[in-house]
Chains A and B, each alone.
Chain A
Amino acid sequence: MSRDPLRFEPVPVRLNACAKTFPGGTRALEPIDLEIAGGETVVFLGPSGCGKTTTLRIIAGLEQPDPGGSVFFGSEDVTALPIERRNVGMVFQSYALFPNMDVAQNVGYGLRVRGIDRRRRDARVGEMLAMMQMEALARRRIDQLSGGQRQRVALARALVVRPRILLLDEPLTALDAKLRDGLRLEIDRLLRQLGITAIYVTHDQGEAMALADRIVVMSGGRVVQIGTPRDVYFRPADPFVADFVGTTNRLQAQAADGRLHVLGADVPWAGATGPLAVLVRPEDVRLDAVTGQAEAKVTTAMFLGDRTRLVVETGTGETLSIDAPGRASFAIGDTVRIAIDPDRLLAMPL
């Protein structure tokens, strides 16, 4: 084991054909294969009930995959190991701190069950609390901590035993928005500094984008896309991903002879031909009174500070969300001209 408290061994993780059927027949997870590189931060993203937690618990050893599935840490097959022998760090949404122990005792618990003597334990707990800037809280009871402090204690407790991988299940969901942003930055910094392999579950696309090296987008027990945050945002694999990660408009279009007919106008087009659905993000729709291809009527204008989110109806009867600058002001019923650059359009098979 490395003696540098700030660097971890980067342990790769592999899932082979891991599926999960719960007693009673709920198929929570279709067979999935997944490779996670050592030191990588992977975020499982998807709506509630899509199987993120189940996948995480299979990796942790809290659930067994259906027969035929296997889990590898590096070259070691850990499928048959119970969680207490896998040496993983785990952080829960509810913190799961032990209320009968103070902060230092919580953080030191993993060392205590490993039989590490008092003195070395205290030293490592102190080191850990110092790294998390929580020395002052060492003797506090759990119910004397704020939500953010609790989650930092939970992180420290998971890390102090130098786990092979770190698993986090919606660690920020229970916190209010301000705290969430602060702690998200802190977790991001920590994960990069430590170089530990981390798997992070969330239903919040903002969190996923901010933290992930790669995002695994899940839906209905399946993996629908794996890619970097930019991949997932700019090249979503299907309309579900496009809609779940950010907001999109879905438009009917017809492509032929190097032109795409959309919103009642033609634009140059090099992609697929035939009837298509095209996706475009609100921030990629421009308002341009001069060159705009189509005319539309404002039906809703919502001022959001940094921008104004417009909902407009086009002459072809389609509804679009558009982001306009915050300083521009609109009234319902205004007519606007909108323009879309063809390279911002994403074609989907119908």
Chain B
Amino acid sequence: MIQSGIGSRVLALALVAPAVAVFGAFFLLPLARLFVVGLSGPEGWRTYAAVLVEPRYLESLVSTMLLAAAVTAVTLAIAGTSGLFLARNRFPGRALLVALLTFPLVFPGVVIGFMVIMLAGRQGLIGTLSEQVAGQRIVFAYSMAGLFLGYVYFSIPRVLLTVMAAAEKLDPQQAEAARALGARPWQVLVHVVLPALKPALLSAGAICFATAMGAFGTAFTLATRIDVLPMVIYTEFTLQANIAMAAALSFVLGIVTWLALSLARSLAGTSVAAAA
């Protein structure tokens, strides 16, 4: 190999050593412990089996996955439409619109939960409006529907940014070439633009799914009664003090989200996490 800037392997090792040490001691080792603790309950390895066998856990796992899938589909549709629109058009006020649309990007789950309460809670906007219009107060913040709204709310900015970044990198001449060949706007969209955006949509979707699977703060703020997996884990750990079960569930949850991201990455052929 050509003499590289880093003279030796030793130097490279020295540079990464602190990070490796911290990461090993505080992430890899604890994760391994988590797995082992999952096995250490009175049930042994059946604790893991219980995740898939016991209705309470299985239902929670399935409903969490369904929720995450629905959030992903709806967010992709909403943010994909707006993101493509914002990337393809220039008009006064566009920069402000983009800035406003990306604010929730760094809100923690609890704040998202509070936003949902502001929208759909007992004193929320939707309730007030619906009471004035239909004479009935619509309140859905403290349920799966509220959680759904919150996750969509949280995910829109990220998907929007990913789609916009990808759309701005598209070669505008491809769309022009398709038009020259007689393609209508919808045909350009379906045949040229969406296929080119596929990697970005896949990666944004995967992140959206993983976040919705593992998020905790929003559910925590809205109600402890929503049986999504993170809430079940929290309950097992704090109320039931069933540490083995909480560990097993956490481990399974981690595997599912990690798998979702890896799958999307291999499908998209790009670094999915890079869009996070």
* Residues of A with C-beta under 8 A to B276: none
B30 within 8 A of partner (CB): no
Chain B 110-128, CB-CB to A under 8 Å as 1, else 0, gives 0000000000000000000
Q: Are A96 and B173 in contact (CB under 8 A)?
A: yes
Identify which of residues 178-229 in chain B touch chain A, using a CB-to-CB cut-off of 8 Å.
Answer: 178-184, 187, 191-192, 195-196, 198
Contact of B191 among A84, A87, A109 (CB under 8 A): A109
A to B contact number (C-beta, < 8 Å): 66
Chain B residue nearest to A88 (CB atoms) is B180
Q: Are B195 and A157 in contact (CB under 8 A)?
A: no
Q: Are A98 and B180 in contact (CB under 8 A)?
A: no
- Distance between B94 CB and nearest chain A CB, rounded to angstroms: 14
Chain A 86-121, CB-CB to B under 8 Å as 1, else 0, gives 011110101011111000000001100110000000
Chain A residue nearest to B177 (CB atoms) is A96
Interface size class of A (residues with CB under 8 A): 20 to 34
B266 within 8 A of partner (CB): no
Interface residues of A (CB under 8 A from B): 60, 62, 82-85, 87-90, 92, 94, 96-100, 109-110, 113-114, 154, 157-158, 161, 167
- Distance between A36 CB and nearest chain B CB, rounded to angstroms: 18
Q: Are B176 and A84 in contact (CB under 8 A)?
A: no
* Residues of A with C-beta under 8 A to B180: 60, 83-84, 88-90, 158, 167
A109 with B196, Cβ < 8 A, contacts A94-B173, A96-B173 known: no
Residue contacts A-B, CB under 8 angstroms, 26 given: A62-B176, A62-B179, A83-B179, A83-B180, A84-B179, A84-B180, A84-B184, A88-B180, A92-B173, A96-B176, A96-B177, A98-B178, A99-B196, A100-B192, A100-B195, A100-B196, A100-B198, A110-B181, A110-B182, A113-B178, A113-B183, A113-B187, A113-B191, A154-B177, A157-B177, A158-B181
B81 within 8 A of partner (CB): no
Q: Are A161 and B176 in contact (CB under 8 A)?
A: no
Identify which of residues 233-276 in chain B touch chain A, using a CB-to-CB cut-off of 8 Å.
Answer: none
Identify which of residues 123-175 in chain B touch chain A, using a CB-to-CB cut-off of 8 Å.
Answer: 171, 173-174
* Residues of A with C-beta under 8 A to B174: 96-98
* Residues of B with C-beta under 8 A to A114: 182
Q: Are A113 and B177 in contact (CB under 8 A)?
A: no
A161 with B177, Cβ < 8 A, contacts A94-B171, A100-B196, A109-B191 known: no
Interface residues of B (CB under 8 A from A): 171, 173-174, 176-184, 187, 191-192, 195-196, 198
A161 with B181, Cβ < 8 A, contacts A90-B176, A92-B176 known: yes
Whole-angstrom CA separation of A110 from B169 in the bound complex? 24
Chain A residue nearest to B187 (CB atoms) is A113
- Distance between A308 CB and nearest chain B CB, rounded to angstroms: 40
Chain B residue nearest to A157 (CB atoms) is B181
* Residues of B with C-beta under 8 A to A98: 174, 177-178, 191-192, 195
Whole-angstrom CA separation of A84 from B187 in the bound complex? 11
Whole-angstrom CA separation of A44 from B190 in the bound complex? 34
Chain B residue nearest to A82 (CB atoms) is B179
Contact of B181 among A82, A99, A109 (CB under 8 A): A109
Chain A residue nearest to B188 (CB atoms) is A84
A84 with B182, Cβ < 8 A, contacts A94-B171, A98-B192, A113-B187 known: yes
- Distance between B92 CB and nearest chain A CB, rounded to angstroms: 11
* Residues of A with C-beta under 8 A to B182: 84-85, 87, 110, 113-114, 161
Q: Are B195 and A113 in contact (CB under 8 A)?
A: no
Please provide the 4 A-B residue pairs with the shortest distance between their CB atoms, ordered closest to farther: A110-B181, A100-B195, A90-B180, A96-B173
* Residues of A with C-beta under 8 A to B181: 84, 109-110, 113, 157-158, 161
13 new A-B contacts at CB < 8 Å, known A62-B176, A85-B182, A92-B173: A84-B180, A84-B181, A89-B180, A94-B171, A96-B177, A99-B196, A100-B192, A100-B195, A100-B198, A109-B191, A154-B177, A158-B181, A161-B181
Whole-angstrom CA separation of A30 from B181 in the bound complex? 29
Contact of A92 among B177, B179, B183, B187 (CB under 8 A): B177
- Distance between B181 CB and nearest chain A CB, rounded to angstroms: 4
- Distance between A92 CB and nearest chain B CB, rounded to angstroms: 5
* Residues of A with C-beta under 8 A to B179: 62, 82-84
* Residues of A with C-beta under 8 A to B195: 98-100
- Distance between A110 CB and nearest chain B CB, rounded to angstroms: 4
Identify which of B177, B179, B187, B191 gathers the most chain A CB atoms within 10 Å of its CB. B177
Whole-angstrom CA separation of A87 from B187 in the bound complex? 16
* Residues of A with C-beta under 8 A to B198: 100
- Distance between B36 CB and nearest chain A CB, rounded to angstroms: 46
- Distance between A21 CB and nearest chain B CB, rounded to angstroms: 16
Whole-angstrom CA separation of A84 from B188 in the bound complex? 10
* Residues of B with C-beta under 8 A to A90: 176-177, 180
* Residues of A with C-beta under 8 A to B173: 92, 94, 96
Whole-angstrom CA separation of A109 from B176 in the bound complex? 13
Chain A residue nearest to B181 (CB atoms) is A110
- Distance between A95 CB and nearest chain B CB, rounded to angstroms: 8
Whole-angstrom CA separation of A68 from B180 in the bound complex? 24
Whole-angstrom CA separation of A99 from B181 in the bound complex? 16
* Residues of B with C-beta under 8 A to A109: 178, 181, 183, 191
- Distance between A63 CB and nearest chain B CB, rounded to angstroms: 11
- Distance between A27 CB and nearest chain B CB, rounded to angstroms: 19
- Distance between B178 CB and nearest chain A CB, rounded to angstroms: 7
Whole-angstrom CA separation of A53 from B178 in the bound complex? 18
- Distance between B230 CB and nearest chain A CB, rounded to angstroms: 38
